[in-house]
Each structure stands twice: as C-alpha cells, then as structure tokens.
Amino acid sequence: MYPWETPSYSDPVARIVRLSIAVAAAVLAVPGIAQAKERTLTYTTPAISVPAYGVRQQPMYAESPSVDGYVVGMEAEVVDAAGRVQGRDKVMLHHIVFAKIGVPDYTCGGSTERFFAEGEERLALSLPRGYGYANKATDRWGLLYMLMNHKKRPLNGFIRYTVRYVTGEALTPVKPVWLDVRNCTGGIDPVFDVPGGGKRFSTFTRTGDFTMPESGRLISGGGHLHGGGVRLELRNATCGTVPFTSRPTWGGPKPMPLLHEPGPTKMSSFRSIQGIPVAAGQKLRLAAVYENQAPHTRAMGIMLLFLAPGAPKGCGATPQLEIDLGKPSAPPPFSMPLPRAPKGSVSTATSTIVRDFQYGSERISLQRGTTFTWRFLGQFEHDVTVVGGPEGFSAPWSLTGVFKHRFTKPGTYRLFCSLHPARMVQQITVH
C-alpha cells in the first residue's frame, strides 16, 4: 500500500488503526494550551429508512465543526444502529455530497458550495500537508445522500462521517472546484446516457468546459465515473495538455440482486504540494470516456479538485504528482437482467402511464421509427431507464409531464425505474 493510500473500509485492521488514531487525537486534545492541533471529528446522521430493494435520496443539514479551523481530510460511510459499517450488499452508499450552505459553488454558483463527495468508489478527501479548506464555527453544512438497499426488507442506515480538522494554525486555504461534464445542467442527478451499440473497444466521450476565473495551483483531485467508465481526463484545452487522468479500479463482489450496473470500487486520485498550475482565462475541459459496446444509462463524469489561488501565468509544466492509482483496468462486460419479469398482455399503443410503483403497460410491441410517450402521474418521482438493449436512454426523475423516445433500432429493450428498480419494470420489443 502506498503511504498516502486510504485504507479500505472493509479492512478490519485498517479500521482498528484508524480508531486508535482517533482515540489518540482525542487524548491529546486537552484544552488550555493554544497550539496547532489536528482532531478527527466524527458525526452521525439520524436514521435514514431505505425501502426494500429501493433508493432513498434527500438533502439534510449536517453537523459541522463548532470552532474555526480547516478541513484537511474527510470520509463517509454507512453504518447500522450498532455502528457497524454496511457493505455494498446491504445499505449501499450510492452517492453523498457535502456542501457549505450560503456560499456560491465555484463552478455552478447558487447558494451551496460542494466540497466533498463520495460514491461507490469511496474516495476519501486528504489534502496535502499545509493546505486546508477554511471553515468557520458559524458555517452551516448540508449533505445530499442517495442510499440503495439490496435487501428485501426496509433497512435503517446512518451516515457516519469523519472530518480531520486543524485549529490554531494558518494553513494555505483552498477552494473546491467541482467539474462535471453536465456543466451545471443536471440538478441533483447530473447523469447522461452512453447509447452503446458500438464495436468492441469503441468509446463514447462526453466533455464539459470551465474557464478559470483566477489563477492558482490544483493541489488535489479525484474522479467519479459509473459502470462502463474507462477514464476521466482533466485537460487544459488552452495549453493542450492533460495534467491528470483519473482511472477506475473494478472488482469485488457484485451486490445482489443487481439493481444497477456496479460502479468502480476505486478511482485514482492525486495530491501535490507544488500543484498543477492553471491561469485565469484558461479553459479546463473534463472528458468522461465510457466503453460504448453496451449502453450505460445514468452515467456520470465528475472531478472534484482543490485550488490554491496564486500567481501562475501562461502554461506551466505539471509537476510530479503523488498518485494513488489503485489497480486500473478496462470495465468488465456487464449484462443486467430485469429484477423481475414484466407481466400482463402485450400492448401496441404508443404511450403508457407511469404511476406509483408501476408502469401502465409492462410489455410493449412497437414498429421501428415509433415515438413512444411515458406520462408521469404518481405522487412520487419516477424515471424510465434502459438497463439493456440496442440503445441506452433514460428519462430524468419526474413527478409530472411526459417523456418521449423515438425507437430507431430494432430489438428488445429492458427498462426499469432506477428509483424503484425491483417494482417498476418494462420490456419493449421493436420490430
């Protein structure tokens, strides 16, 4: 293991070591002497009930440090009522995003500054020595979670997060720069679809651009991709360089039953005290590269970087980066059956309704070239997501309105609602 590598959550030895460090820090944190110190603060949310074979996503306020200081590291996990870490096969931490409330986001503006996120890849935040994300006692944090339950009964999950926090010392402040190939258009579910249908080893790339408003050095960063991801490139389009590429590691047991295509178990990340120079006015281009033989719906391409504002001008050389690489490889081939068989008689109508926990018709037959319409009528949000077939597409989470898709490729499409995957299924055969 590289010295900067974060221990795996499932490794009991690593967990004990981490707990011991936390205890030692608590013992050392005796009040009275004003001196620099680093503490590990642990917070746990109230219980979050996740429906059987279902998904729960919601924003909530999050406890934060009650004194001024700097965040230098962070990680999050899902635990049960007894504090035991849940594996990917129980309540899975699908996505979690932490933000500071009332502060505009660096790339998207608005009133929440995203500064930490984890997905299935469980990428902890660990800034290089000397840098910190400044935080005030009066700052308010929020978190947005998305948990997935792989069991056939409702389960309670608790999000436990630890913050490595430095007080009594002035660190070099950094700003979180959240790059997303959806370029701020995706709301809380910034997904896109990889259509598939290409030759073996063909790829599909989606890019997003961001023009730097100031100069500085990128001192830390890591990526987020979903199933089918090949790599996530940080390009400096102005300089024609690729200073960092985040690569996925695959493997480990697949959470059963399959409710979505599993994502990487790790994404490579970098740290650098010197930092990657970027200058005001330069265009950063994030490129998410996915394999395109099979469809990969609801894919993401996100990179969270930390910028230390400063002086760089022009196109400076990228310094040697400290890379936590993992074991990158090509995404494994994946085919997902529907969680249950579609039922009922075959409909040849060109529309159906989407009501709570059921599509109006589950078995549909269409002529090639038909535009099919889904009408959303439920009390809860639902979507339409291809899990397999000749072409990948998906509808956004919707409460009302319609979604249309024109079927140009013959074959059998397997679809479900990604929020209620075990209940809402549909099969469309196009002739």
From the CB of 421, what's the least distance to Cu ion, in Å? Answer: 8
> Which residues fall within 8 angstroms of residue 185, CB to CB, at 6 or more apart?
none
The smaller minimum CB distance to Cu ion, of residues 53 and 161, is found at 53
The smaller minimum CB distance to Cu ion, of residues 55 and 294, is found at 55
The smaller minimum CB distance to Cu ion, of residues 114 and 420, is found at 420
Q: Which residues ranging from 21 to 60 are in contact with Cu ion (CB under 5 A)?
A: none
From the CB of 55, what's the least distance to Cu ion, in Å? Answer: 9
Q: Which residues ranging from 277 to 336 are in contact with Cu ion (CB under 5 A)?
A: none
Contact range with Cu ion by CB under 5 A, out of 182-190, 270-278, 363-371, 414-422: 414-422
From the CB of 29, what's the least distance to Cu ion, in Å? Answer: 46
> Which residues fall within 8 angstroms of residue 23, CB to CB, at 6 or more apart?
none
The smaller minimum CB distance to Cu ion, of residues 226 and 420, is found at 420
- Position among 41, 174, 177, 417 found at the interface with Cu ion (CB under 5 A): 417
The smaller minimum CB distance to Cu ion, of residues 166 and 419, is found at 419
From the CB of 343, what's the least distance to Cu ion, in Å? Answer: 17
The smaller minimum CB distance to Cu ion, of residues 25 and 377, is found at 377
From the CB of 298, what's the least distance to Cu ion, in Å? Answer: 13
From the CB of 405, what's the least distance to Cu ion, in Å? Answer: 17
From the CB of 320, what's the least distance to Cu ion, in Å? Answer: 48
- List the structure tokens of 326: 């993992």
Per-residue three-class SS string for the chain: CCCCCCCCCCCHHHHHHHHHHHHHHHHHCCCCCCCCEEEEEEEECCCEEECCCCEEEEEEEECCCCCCEEEEEEEEEEECCCCCECCCCCEEEEEEEEEEECCCECCCECCEEEEEEEECCCCCEECCCCEEEEECCCCEEEEEEEEEECCCCCEEEEEEEEEEEEECCCCEECEEEEEECCCCCCCCCCCEEECCCCCCCCEEEEEEEEECCCCEEEEEEEEEECCCEEEEEEEECCCCEEEEEECEECCCCCCCCCCCCCCCCEECEEEEEEEEEECCCCEEEEEEEEECCCCEEEECEEEEEEEEECCCCCCCCCCCCEEECCCECCCCCCCCCCCCCCCCCEECCCEEEEECCEECCCEEEECCCCEEEEEECCCCCECCEEEECCCCCECCCECCCEEEEECCCCEEEEEECCCCCCCCEEEEEEC
The smaller minimum CB distance to Cu ion, of residues 54 and 388, is found at 54
- Position among 215, 271, 420, 428 found at the interface with Cu ion (CB under 5 A): 420
Phi and psi angles of residue 324, each rounded to the nearest 5 degrees, phi first = -95, 95
Contact range with Cu ion by CB under 5 A, out of 30-38, 133-141, 362-370, 411-419: 411-419
Q: x/- site string to Cu ion, residues 346 to 385, per CB under 5 A?
A: ------------------------------------x---
Q: Does 419 bind Cu ion (CB under 5 A)?
A: yes
> Which residues fall within 8 angstroms of residue 226, CB to CB, at 6 or more apart?
261, 263, 296, 298, 299, 300
The smaller minimum CB distance to Cu ion, of residues 118 and 383, is found at 383
From the CB of 360, what's the least distance to Cu ion, in Å? Answer: 13
From the CB of 15, what's the least distance to Cu ion, in Å? Answer: 35
The residue count for binding Cu ion (CB under 5 A) is 5
The smaller minimum CB distance to Cu ion, of residues 56 and 382, is found at 382
The smaller minimum CB distance to Cu ion, of residues 278 and 425, is found at 425
Q: x/- site string to Cu ion, residues 192 to 231, per CB under 5 A?
A: ----------------------------------------
Q: Tell how strand 172-173 and strand 131-135 pair up.
A: parallel
CA 426 to chain centre: 26
Q: Tell how strand 425-430 and strand 363-366 pair up.
A: parallel
The smaller minimum CB distance to Cu ion, of residues 164 and 420, is found at 420
Contact range with Cu ion by CB under 5 A, out of 233-241, 275-283, 284-292, 409-417: 409-417
From the CB of 358, what's the least distance to Cu ion, in Å? Answer: 9
From the CB of 418, what's the least distance to Cu ion, in Å? Answer: 8
Q: Where does this chain bind Cu ion (CB under 5 A)?
A: 382, 417, 419-420, 424
